[in-house]
Amino acid sequence: MIKAIETILIDIPTIRPHKLSVATMSTQTLVLVQIQTDDGYSGWGEATTIGGLKYGDESPESVAVNIRQHIAPLLLQQDERQVGALMYRLRKNIRGNRFAKCALETALLDIQAQRLSVPMSELLGGRLRDSVPVLWTLASGDTVKDIDEAQMMLDLRRHNSFKLKIGLNSIQHDVNHVLAIKKALGADVSIRVDVNQAWSELQATTAIQQLQDGGIDLIEQPLKAENRAGMARLAQRFSVAIMADETLNGPQDAWEVARLNAADVFAVKIAQSGGLTQAKELGTIARLAGISLYGGTMLEGAVGTMASAQLFATFDELEFGTELFGPLLLKQDILAEPLQYRDFALQLPTTPGLGLALDLDKIAAWRRPA
């Protein structure tokens, strides 16, 4: 029986300013959710977002309030083993709040998998791989610093693909920045860009032509999330892959985007999708529609990152890899044993549940006062 549900906010500085077109991050607020049962199980989930309300429509604080006031009462005293029935209850009674639902579903699945003594991936269809490739995002805002950072990651064998956050500056400034980095790193290093909705269709057409000619591999969410017709025109016009991110807020969106041919690739994010089961449905829609997959992030800490990895490990194909580097962007981690990043990939544990050893003392010391 579910005995307690708690939301914990932890503010952690980033290792350097992280510049997106919608926000510059110098700290990240981890939003952790813990579910405890009367027979001693504890499950964790995460509802972290980017830039307060600048990226998504749930803030860390709104997640905490909505769980406490509206969502936890639907789950407390219920049988945590009935994960499907509980999530159905939330779908029926709670509009939106996809990040909060994701955190709760993750915590329930963590408990269920611990109870059954299997890794969480086995409740999500079963894992096909024990590691997932992880790229690094270059977003210092400075071309020379970005090249140095990429070179360091290559030397460490930590990342060999890079995503550049653009859209904050003029089109030509951004295109020059990207092409200078591509030229410095060479043909074997995959470079992708994330525009985070910053361009008009006209701007996108000018920029993508140059990026495609310069050997860039992927263009992520160049247009506003609402402009799917425009995304479809770009996908039709260019051979470089066009990826949907912010326009995908669950399976219904995935279905529409697929139907409109508005993307070549889906960025699957567990929180943006409303949870692991719905994110799995995005993967299925992509597979049926012939759309490639990429494992996205909301720059979560270890819990959301590992939950995502547990799902992405079950996809038949993960053609564009993942960006599950969130914990590496933070100055501190909340784990007793660090995540294993090596050989350009995040390694998945084979231990039951999420497979993480959280450091409860660090969490208690760093959490925001309730």
Characterize the bridge pairing of strands 190-194 and 218-220. parallel
If binding is defined by CB under 5 A, does position 300 make contact with Mg ion? no
Q: Which residues contribute to the site for ligand MUC (CB under 6 A)? A: 20, 50, 137, 139, 165, 194, 196, 245, 296-297, 299, 323
Considering CB distances under 5 to 8 angstroms, the limit depending on partner class, which of Mg ion, ligand MUC, none binds residue 29?
none
Angstrom distances, CA of residue 11 to CA of 16, 27, 32, 368: 15, 6, 11, 7
Contact track, Mg ion, 206-245, x by CB under 5 A: --------------x------------------------x
Binding at 71: pick from Mg ion, ligand MUC, none (beta carbon under 5-8 Å per type):
none
Instruction: Check: CB of residue 195 under 8 Å from CB of residue 168.
Output: no
134 binds, among ligand MUC, Mg ion, none (CB under 5 to 8 A by kind): none
Nearer to ligand MUC, 139 or 198 (CB): 139
Asked whether the beta carbons of 360 and 1 are under 8 A apart, the reply is: no
323 annotated active-site? yes
Structure tokens at 247: 């326009």
For ligand MUC, which is the closer residue by CB, 140 or 212? 140
CB of 163 to Mg ion, least distance (A): 8
CB 47, CB 102: distance < 8 Å: yes
- Phi, psi angles (nearest 5°) of residue 223: -110, 170
The amino acid sitting at 167 is G
- What does the DSSP 8-state code read for residue 123? G
Region binding Mg ion by CB under 5 A among candidate stretches 190-198, 231-239, 284-292, 306-314: 190-198
Exposure string over 233-245, b if 16+ CB within 10 A, otherwise e = bbbeebebbbbbb
Least CB distance to Mg ion at residue 231 (A):
13
- How many chain residues are in contact with Mg ion, going by CB under 5 A? 3
Residue 301 beta carbon to ligand MUC: minimum distance, rounded to whole angstroms? 14
Q: Which is nearer to ligand MUC, 107 or 298 (CB)?
A: 298
Q: Residue number with the shortest CB distance to ligand MUC?
A: 137
Catalytic option among 46, 105, 281, 323: 323
Kindly state the tokens that stand for 205. 């057409």
From the list Mg ion, ligand MUC, none, which binds 308 (C-beta under 5 to 8 Å, kind-based)? none
Question: CA gyration radius for the chain?
Answer: 20
Reading the block at residue 76, the tokens are 């407390």
Cα–Cα distance, 357 to 43 (Å, whole number): 12
Q: Kindly tell me which of 196 and 314 has the beta carbon lying closer to ligand MUC.
A: 196
C-beta closer to ligand MUC: residue 34 or 197 = 197
Catalytic-role residue among 19, 101, 163, 165? 165
Q: What angle do CA 269, 282, 262 make, to 5 degrees?
A: 95
Rounded distance, CA 346 to CA 332, Å? 18
- Select 107 or 298, whichever has its Cβ closest to Mg ion: 298
- What pairing do the DSSP bridges indicate for beta strands 341-342 and 345-347? antiparallel
Q: How far is the CB of 307 from ligand MUC (least distance, A)?
A: 16
Distance CA 260, CA 32 (A): 36
* 194 contacts Mg ion (rule: CB under 5 A): yes
Active-site residue flag, 149: no
Smallest separation, CB 73 to ligand MUC (Å): 32
Residue 95 beta carbon to Mg ion: minimum distance, rounded to whole angstroms? 24
| Tokens at 58, concatenated | 């749930």
Residues that bind Mg ion (CB under 5 A): 194, 220, 245
- Residues with a known catalytic role: 165, 323
